[in-house]
Structure 1
Amino acid sequence: MSIRVRRSSIALPGPVPVATIRPLRQVALACLMSLLGATAPGLALAYCDEADAVAGVPAGRPALPDTQAFSASELFDGPAQGDGMTQLASLAREAVTASHDVRSAEHGSRAARQDFKQTEAGGSPQVSVNGTLGIGQSAVAGRTLSVGGVGGAGVNASAPLYDGGRLDALKDYRQRLVAASDEGIGNARERALREALLTVIDRNRFRLQLKVHGQQVAKLSCLARSIEQIVARDRGRASELVQARKGVRQAEIARDEVQSLLRQADARLRRVVGDNVAPWGAVGVPLIELPALDTLLSQVPESPEIRALRLQAEALDRLARANAAEGSPQVRWQVGANSTRQAQVTSSAWNAGIAVNMVIDDGGSVSAAASASRERAEATRQAMASGINERSKQIGTFHDAARSAYLRARHVAGVLQDSDQLRNATFEQWSKLGRRSLFDLISAENEHYQLRIAYINALHDGFSASAQLRNASSGLLPWIAPELAGVPAR
């Protein structure tokens, strides 16, 4: 905060150069108003400037762009460290790395792969060995004939020849579950990025709000100090000092509330991405451009959640086939050999053949299991259709919300120009001409800073809606970091 003091002196009678006519006219007007009691000594010479509160922002200009065109260099808090897409990709990596839900989905995918291997192994020959070793005796009519060691060894092998397609259907079932679990990884990563991005947008919102509130406190504090100079000479205007100090305290309360919200946003962000919290001040720049609504709607079936539901429904169809095949004859080939020794007598045998097993009547168990799987498949398809419908509605809502927010931001930016001129004119009329009250001045200042806050909110509302818009379609990851979209864990 700074107070600029303009000093002039009235020239003595005599020739007046043309270059000095205009300054002298201003001084003469100020002296005339002073004689008429329209201004207080000292205040007419002071001008409060919030430029010092934010380095690089010229006096009288809003902290955010005041034109309808969005400029990436002016939208955010200081120069961005890298472009917006680079920051979005960095945020995606941090969010995915820190997410416990992603780790859980990856472990689930590994488990699904092991289930597939187990099912696949069911078609391979199963080989087993057995053996016994001990001691025994034989007796006839109570007379012991022999006592000695007892032992045996055997080997058996078998494999399915025909099962009505049950094993192939089970393998298809497990394979689709593996693919669905991979989509689950992509869905978990998408949720992690969405939460992180919305949290960063909120944090950037509060950071800019805090800057504006800081400017407001600095500006009103400067006005209060100027009024102190008035009251020191005119005690009858002490009520104006009380009013100015009240305005400062109210601005400080608003600033402290935003400071608290910023701390909470920082804490949430650390829970989402860990301690490696970067500024990510330019993540909203790419979100300003809105994709075509029809394109977004057509991409809904490609979202990880919808693809996972589709694969789950296909997997349940295969499970229904496997359950129905259990009623078919089960044919296996098998071979075996064994050798035993007891009481110094050794015997051996071998066998080879085909085993057939067929259920004649199971009370409807097989049919019920197959029907249950088909019903679950249909239920999953209905859930998929509901998900597509819900996402389509969200896309329409978020697309309209984003467009409305950006349009509102542009309108507020235009009003900011008028507000800036109004508050400066009010200051001049109050401090030099006495045509406005202090209440008018503080109201003009508060309205200007509220418009700045409204601009910040409108802009970041648009960012949030744009992020959720892409998330409701095919997802944020295919746009931001394609290498992280649906990558299976190995």
Structure 2
Amino acid sequence: MQLTPKAICAAAALLFITGASLGQTADTLRDAAQKAVQTNPEVTARFNAYRAAGDAVHVARGGFLPRVDLNALAGRDNDRITGRLPDETQSLNRSQVGLSLTQLLWDGLGTRREVDRLTHERLARYFELMEATEQTVLEAARAHYDVQRFRRLVQLAEDNYVQHRYAFLQIQSRVKAGVGRGVDLEQAGARLALAESNLATEQANLHDVTVRYQRIVGELPPAKLPALAMLKDGVPASAGDAVTQSLRNSAAISASIEGLRAAREAASGRDSAFQPRVEARLAGAGGRNVDGIEDQKRNASAHIVLNWNLYNGGSDNARVNQQKNLLNQAADARDRVCRDTRQVAAIAYNDTRKLTEQLVYLERNTLAIEKARDAYRQQFDIGQRSLLDLLNAENEVYTARRAYANAEHDLALAFARTQAATNRLGTALGIARTDQAADEAAGWAAGDDAPARCPATVAEVGNNTDRSALDARAEGMSRSAPAPR
């Protein structure tokens, strides 16, 4: 049966179904992730690779079954027999139809090893499909958050432009009234131009992330997006738990383990070249002058055939050595994937902790700067502050608000990255897996093939700073400073 692109997308969509909603704030994010899984070419490509791997297993299993061949011929034989006086020439017209059956009896377990190898390859493709879907959900979340981020930054840039335009118009009216200085107008114009540049930059960035959203999800983002959805539920309680869960649940690690097992079966299968191949063959034919024997109408045969290659130019030994090296390479690839997974999980979780703490300080900073800006504006109106002080305060407010918005969206993305690192992002969005292929991975375990060079240790660098010691240093500097005059 030929699959249409629509059917392929529908089959891939079976990997996820919509579960319980996390609330309206997460609905658009969940919808974006769902559409990305259904339409993203990376997911459908992995799905087709998995189906092809299943077909390869069926191909290999065919080696256990008998092979039946039908053959037919019609023609004329001309034979010249020498050694007689005179030489004799015989001509014979013949036609026949034959049927042969060949059944493998022994091939050194080569076919069995090949079936086992391809079965592991199929499982590897399945786990790669799971990894691709989880990463696609993460990319959809990233695209969603980036659109929200830059829409917010455009709003801040617009507000910043309005404030600088207002200041410019105020200074301009003062200069025209003869109570302001021309240099103040130049300063206000320079800051207004910078605000216009910032607005143009943010608008360009918004365009870029919108196009990226369209590439990942398959359509443009909605005109209105709700508030940020912080996917906190289910996030591990500690960095150690995050790393442990990521190493246990990672589909990428599972795929690399199945790749290692496939390489091991391939290495074992190479040994079959040193053993004999035994087949049972049954054949029969009927017709006129069968096998070129005059007046023969039929024949039948039954054989046990043994073929044992005794020398092959050293190729078989070379293949065995080659496969051993490939087995070692597969083990190295497994450990590399494990280390990459550990790093991603540790960084993502640390970002959630770092950004949660930073948001408190950034909010405090923003509120303080806004109050200072308002005070500077009042003092400027009565001549106690310079224009440069007021413009600097406006820029600081814009910078503080922008930093807070970026940190807030970075935190939302950090939670999503942590969920994806522990293979739970789809579940956190209310999207549950329901594919039939999952049945063959039921009960799967790494066993003795777990990564050997990837302990679940967590770095705590930079997380144990003693603030009291830093405060004591500052107080010491204050005491040693000269008294104000």
TM interval, short-chain normalised: 0.7 to 0.9
Displacement after TM superposition at 1:287 (Å): 3.7
Quick one: distance in 1 between partners of 2:90 and 2:30? 86
SS of residue matched to 1:373? helix
Please say if 1:387 is aligned against 2:337: yes
Maintained 8 Å contact 1:312/1:377 = no
Maintained 8 Å contact 2:276/2:308 = yes
Q: Number of residues paired by the alignment?
A: 409
Aligned partner (choices 351, 354, 362) of residue 301 of structure 2: 351
Pair 383,211 (structure 1): closer, same or farther in 2 beyond 3 Å: same
Pair 352,145 (structure 1): closer, same or farther in 2 beyond 3 Å: closer
Pair 283,236 (structure 1): closer, same or farther in 2 beyond 3 Å: closer
Please say if 1:201 is aligned against 2:145: yes
Displacement after TM superposition at 1:260 (Å): 1.1
Displacement after TM superposition at 1:411 (Å): 0.9
Aligned partner (choices 398, 407, 410) of residue 458 of structure 1: 407
Matched-pair identity in %: 22
Quick one: distance in 1 between partners of 2:193 and 2:435? 50
Displacement after TM superposition at 1:269 (Å): 2.1
1:33 alignment counterpart: none
Maintained 8 Å contact 1:212/1:449 = yes
* Alignment map for 1:364-403 (pairs within 5 Å): 364-403=314-353
2:443 alignment counterpart: none
Pair 223,485 (structure 1): closer, same or farther in 2 beyond 3 Å: farther
Tell me which moved more, 174-183 or 290-299: 290-299
Pair 139,120 (structure 1): closer, same or farther in 2 beyond 3 Å: closer
Please say if 1:112 is aligned against 2:53: yes
Quick one: distance in 2 between partners of 1:371 and 1:477? 43
Aligned partner (choices 117, 131, 139) of residue 173 of structure 1: 117
Pair 400,344 (structure 1): closer, same or farther in 2 beyond 3 Å: closer
Quick one: distance in 2 between partners of 1:138 and 1:363? 38
Displacement after TM superposition at 1:364 (Å): 4.8
2:34 alignment counterpart: 93
Maintained 8 Å contact 2:270/2:320 = yes
Tell me which moved more, 271-280 or 197-206: 271-280
SS of residue matched to 2:297? strand
Quick one: distance in 2 between partners of 1:469 and 1:486? 27
Maintained 8 Å contact 1:399/1:465 = yes
CA distances 1:372-430 after superposition (whole Å, capped 9, x unpaired): 32332232122111221232123223322332223212211122222222222222222
2:65 alignment counterpart: 124
Aligned partner (choices 315, 318, 339) of residue 262 of structure 2: 315
Maintained 8 Å contact 1:137/1:145 = yes
Quick one: distance in 2 between partners of 1:145 and 1:430? 124
Aligned partner (choices 260, 277, 288) of residue 341 of structure 1: 288
Displacement after TM superposition at 1:337 (Å): 0.8
SS of residue matched to 1:286? coil
Quick one: distance in 2 between partners of 1:319 and 1:239? 80
CA distances 1:287-346 after superposition (whole Å, capped 9, x unpaired): 456533223212233222111110011111112222212322322222111124149824
Maintained 8 Å contact 2:33/2:217 = no
* Alignment map for 1:405-420 (pairs within 5 Å): 405-420=355-370
Quick one: distance in 2 between partners of 1:391 and 1:248? 47
Displacement after TM superposition at 1:215 (Å): 0.9
Q: Based on CA coordinates, which of the two structures has the bigger radius of gyration?
A: 1
Aligned partner (choices 253, 265, 268) of residue 306 of structure 1: 253
Unpaired stretches in structure 2, ≥5 consecutive residues: 1-21, 440-485
> What is the identity, as a one-letter code, of the residue corresponding to 1:90?
D
1:62 alignment counterpart: none
Maintained 8 Å contact 1:126/1:157 = yes
Displacement after TM superposition at 1:259 (Å): 0.8
Quick one: distance in 1 between partners of 2:91 and 2:162? 111
> What is the identity, as a one-letter code, of the residue corresponding to 2:167?
L
Maintained 8 Å contact 1:339/1:347 = yes
Aligned partner (choices 200, 215, 221) of residue 256 of structure 1: 200
Quick one: distance in 1 between partners of 2:46 and 2:438? 10
What is the aligned-residue RMSD (CA, Å)? 3.2
Displacement after TM superposition at 1:284 (Å): 4.5
> What is the identity, as a one-letter code, of the residue corresponding to 2:246?
V
Displacement after TM superposition at 1:139 (Å): 8.8
Quick one: distance in 2 between partners of 1:223 and 1:346? 113
Displacement after TM superposition at 1:127 (Å): 0.6
Quick one: distance in 1 between partners of 2:176 and 2:259? 80
Aligned partner (choices 395, 414, 429) of residue 446 of structure 1: 395
1:331 alignment counterpart: 278
Pair 145,227 (structure 1): closer, same or farther in 2 beyond 3 Å: closer
2:14 alignment counterpart: none
> What is the identity, as a one-letter code, of the residue corresponding to 1:437?
S
SS of residue matched to 1:326? helix
Displacement after TM superposition at 1:255 (Å): 0.8
1:434 alignment counterpart: 383
Pair 193,287 (structure 1): closer, same or farther in 2 beyond 3 Å: same
Displacement after TM superposition at 1:446 (Å): 1.9
Maintained 8 Å contact 1:162/1:329 = yes
1:295 alignment counterpart: 241
Pair 475,368 (structure 1): closer, same or farther in 2 beyond 3 Å: farther
2:476 alignment counterpart: none
Pair 439,486 (structure 1): closer, same or farther in 2 beyond 3 Å: farther
TM-score (norm 1): 0.74
Tell me which moved more, 96-105 or 155-164: 96-105
Displacement after TM superposition at 1:487 (Å): 5.8
Unpaired stretches in structure 1, ≥5 consecutive residues: 1-80
> What is the identity, as a one-letter code, of the residue corresponding to 1:255?
L
Displacement after TM superposition at 1:206 (Å): 1.5
> What is the identity, as a one-letter code, of the residue corresponding to 1:195?
E
Quick one: distance in 1 between partners of 2:196 and 2:297? 100
SS of residue matched to 1:325? helix
Maintained 8 Å contact 1:334/1:355 = yes
Maintained 8 Å contact 1:156/1:335 = yes
Pair 408,146 (structure 1): closer, same or farther in 2 beyond 3 Å: closer
1:220 alignment counterpart: 164
Pair 309,139 (structure 1): closer, same or farther in 2 beyond 3 Å: closer
TM-score (norm 2): 0.75
